Chains A and B, each alone.
Chain A
Amino acid sequence: MFYREAGDFKTSYRDDSQTFPISFDRWRYYAVLIVAFGVIPFLINDYWANALLVPFLIYAIAAIGLNILTGYCGQVSLGTGGFMAVGAYACYKLMTAFPDVSILIHVLLAGGVTALVGVLFGLPSLRIKGFYLAVATLAAQFFLVWLFNKVPWFYNYSASGQISAPERTFLGHAVTGPATTASAKYLFCLAILVVLAWLARNLTRGTIGRKWMAIRDMDIAAEIIGVNPLTAKLSAFAVSSFFVGVSGALFFAVYLGAVEVGEAFGIQKSFLVLFMIIIGGLGSIFGSFAGAAFLVLLPVVLKVIGVDLLGWPTDIVAHIQLVIIGALIVMFLILEPHGLAQLWRVAKEKLRLWPFPY
Chain B
Amino acid sequence: MKMMKLAALALAGAVASGPAVAELVIPDLSYRTGPYAAGGIPFSDGYQDYFALLNARDGGIGGVPVRVVECETGYNTEKGVECYESTKGEGALVYQPLSTGITYQLIPKAMTDGIPLHTMGYGRTSAANGKVFEWVFNYPANYWNAASVAVNYLLDENGGDLSGKKLALVYHNSAYGKEPIRTLEELAKKHGYELSLLAVDHPGQEQKSQWLQIRRERPDYVIMWGWGVMNQVAIQEAANINFPMENFIGTWWSGAEHDVTPAGMAANGYKALNMNRINPDMPVFDEIRTHVHEAGNAAGDGSNVGSVLYTRGMYAAMLAAEAIRIAQEKHGVADITPAMMRDGMEALAMTDARMAELGAPGIGPEFSVSCENHGGSGMGIVQQWNAADGKWVALTDYIMSDASVIDPLIEEDSMAFAAEAGVEMRCN
> Are A and B bound to each other?
yes
Contacts of B76 in A (CB 8 A): 263
Query: In the complex the two chains form, is A266's CB within 8 Å of B182's CB?
Result: no
Query: In the complex the two chains form, is B86's CB within 8 Å of A178's CB?
Result: no
Once A50-B81, A179-B112, A314-B72 are accepted as A-B contacts, the answer to whether A262 and B174 lie under 8 Å apart by CB is yes
Option from B32, B85, B175 in Cβ contact (under 8 Å) with A51:
B85
Closest B residue to A50 using CB positions: B85
Q: Is there a chain A Cβ closer than 8 Å to B312's Cβ?
A: no
Contacts of A262 in B (CB 8 A): 173-174, 201-202
Once A263-B174, A264-B77 are accepted as A-B contacts, the answer to whether A166 and B420 lie under 8 Å apart by CB is yes
Once A160-B104, A178-B108, A263-B202 are accepted as A-B contacts, the answer to whether A51 and B30 lie under 8 Å apart by CB is no
Once A164-B108, A257-B105 are accepted as A-B contacts, the answer to whether A149 and B199 lie under 8 Å apart by CB is yes
Query: In the complex the two chains form, is B77's CB within 8 Å of A259's CB?
Result: yes
Option from B72, B105, B178 in Cβ contact (under 8 Å) with A160:
B178
- Distance A259 CA – B74 CA, assembled complex (angstroms): 16
Number of residues from B at the complex interface, CB < 8 A? 43
Q: Is there a chain B Cβ closer than 8 Å to A319's Cβ?
A: yes
Query: Which of B172-207 touch A at CB < 8 Å?
Result: 173-176, 178-179, 181-182, 199, 201-202
Q: Is there a chain B Cβ closer than 8 Å to A41's Cβ?
A: no
A151 to chain B, nearest CB (A): 13
Query: In the complex the two chains form, is A162's CB within 8 Å of B175's CB?
Result: yes
Query: In the complex the two chains form, is A47's CB within 8 Å of B202's CB?
Result: no
- Distance A177 CA – B423 CA, assembled complex (angstroms): 13
Q: Is the interface of A mostly helix, strand, loop or mixed?
A: helix
Once A47-B85, A160-B179, A314-B30 are accepted as A-B contacts, the answer to whether A257 and B71 lie under 8 Å apart by CB is no
Q: Is there a chain B Cβ closer than 8 Å to A260's Cβ?
A: yes
Query: In the complex the two chains form, is B86's CB within 8 Å of A51's CB?
Result: yes
Query: In the complex the two chains form, is B70's CB within 8 Å of A178's CB?
Result: no
Query: In the complex the two chains form, is B421's CB within 8 Å of A159's CB?
Result: no
Query: In the complex the two chains form, is A149's CB within 8 Å of B112's CB?
Result: no
Known: A258-B77, A266-B202. 17 other contacts (CB 8 A): A47-B89, A51-B81, A51-B82, A51-B85, A166-B420, A166-B421, A167-B421, A178-B111, A256-B77, A258-B105, A260-B104, A262-B174, A262-B202, A300-B82, A307-B71, A315-B37, A315-B41
Query: Which of B16-34 touch A at CB < 8 Å?
Result: 30, 32-33
Q: Is there a chain A Cβ closer than 8 Å to B208's Cβ?
A: no
Contacts of A162 in B (CB 8 A): 101, 104, 175
A37 to chain B, nearest CB (A): 23
A48 to chain B, nearest CB (A): 9
Q: Is there a chain A Cβ closer than 8 Å to B100's Cβ?
A: yes
Closest B residue to A259 using CB positions: B77
Contact with B along A137-168 (1 / 0, CB 8 A): 00000000000010000000001111010110
Contact with B along A312-342 (1 / 0, CB 8 A): 0111011100000000000000000000000
Q: Is there a chain B Cβ closer than 8 Å to A245's Cβ?
A: no
